[in-house]
A and B are shown apart, each in its own frame.
Chain A
């Protein structure tokens, strides 16, 4: 294999690589989207209900520790959310995306200077106003960082989803392993790595745009 042999392979199979990249993006985008939809409200709830903190954070923590290949395997026989294919993969990926999003939402809000919360309250803000006008805007940077982390982790884990027929760039990797062909492995691994970098950079830009009030050093 020439050092750049995989490039030739990539170019020869570019349509397939693009299709798999799109599948990959779909898996990660959908699961992170669902996880944000569920995880941000959950994180907010945890700042309001102290009793729920330990069980909920514990649950998403445990979810994170299940080896991904095993989780995909466990889900196959489960009715409705299981089976072979993309749906099962999205369920599992959503589970992995929950921890950074729930955790960052919770910590982001809890990390706000108590003096700011207190003045908000003392000025006569209702809880909803405090959340909408003060806590969420101030925690947004940390929340977005959680979404970003979840996305980058998701791009990696999604390669394994090919093992249960969910498609994505992992197919090249598994194919390459069974063929003992590094070029094919790299055709999956390199676009996946680039995807992770691009997602990281893109969401990082978004983060900075929303934090324009951070104009000078504060603390």
Chain B
């Protein structure tokens, strides 16, 4: 679904990513773990062509992103970010139905889909559809963000520290639901975080990014057992 082939990225003269290669299949969640500034978010932005690689190729469905029409590409990829980015002047329902509307779905289909999505993330439509984002708690807003990202049924989902700003209880609740949901819907997910426990909980595979390079790639179990310095440097946090 998504394939990074020797991808390097330079931004404003700074090397952000160096020769990154990995592939991601349907139903699989890859977590990109790393400290801030390690290039995690930039890697995500390469997938929906908010950025373009300086060298190498990022392929989505086998086609290089630079060959995709960026608008069409983005409408096929769900995107969730930490700051949530809900449109404050639009109701919850309008936020969720955004991409289906941009894709020109029938109004009745949009409404049905919005109701489904809100149910899916545990926000009953009757109660939440007509509220504005400012009237919701942080956790509820992020649920709307997830519903919005899933609304057009994208095969690929990009998540950039989506739960970073939430309190620990809400965060672990959403992590569990998110993992359950994406596996049930067989999405290909790239999830960016700097939180080791989150990476282990959510990922089928962990890619540890260090100064723009992949320092480790493997399953959460392999990650925990790894003796690599870069991995061990991250381990103490897991015990906290």
Contact = CB atoms under 8 A, between A and B. Distances in A.
Interface of A: 113, 115-116, 118-126, 129, 133-134, 137-138, 213-218
8 contacts: A120-B87, A123-B79, A123-B102, A123-B148, A124-B74, A215-B134, A216-B135, A218-B88
Contact of B134 (A115, A125, A216): A216
> Range of interface residues on chain B?
20 to 34
B192 interface: no
A121 B132 contact: no
Contact of B50 (A121, A216, A218): A121
Interface in B58-81: 70-75, 77, 79, 81
Nearest to B148: A123
Interface of B: 48, 50, 70-75, 77, 79, 81, 83-90, 98-99, 102, 132, 134-135, 148, 158
B89 A122 contact: no
Interface class of chain B by DSSP: mixed
B132 A122 contact: no
B88 A213 contact: yes
Contacts of A133: 87
A215 B132 contact: yes
Nearest to A113: B83
A119 B70 CA distance: 14
B140 to A, nearest CB: 13
B51 to A, nearest CB: 11
A118 B70 CA distance: 14
Given A118-B50, A213-B132, A215-B135, A124 B102 contact: yes
Q: Which of A116, A118, A119, A124 is the most central at the interface, judged by chain B CB atoms within 10 Å of its CB? A: A124
A124 B84 contact: no
B87 A116 contact: yes
B59 to A, nearest CB: 19
B76 to A, nearest CB: 8
Nearest to A121: B50
A124 B50 CA distance: 10
Contact of B71 (A116, A126, A134): A126
B39 to A, nearest CB: 17
Q: Which of A122, A129, A137 is the most central at the interface, judged by chain B CB atoms within 10 Å of its CB? A: A122
A124 B132 contact: no
Contact of A124 (B75, B85, B89, B148): B75
A216 B141 CA distance: 14
B85 A125 contact: no
A136 to B, nearest CB: 10
Contacts of B75: 123-124
Contacts of A124: 70-75, 99, 102
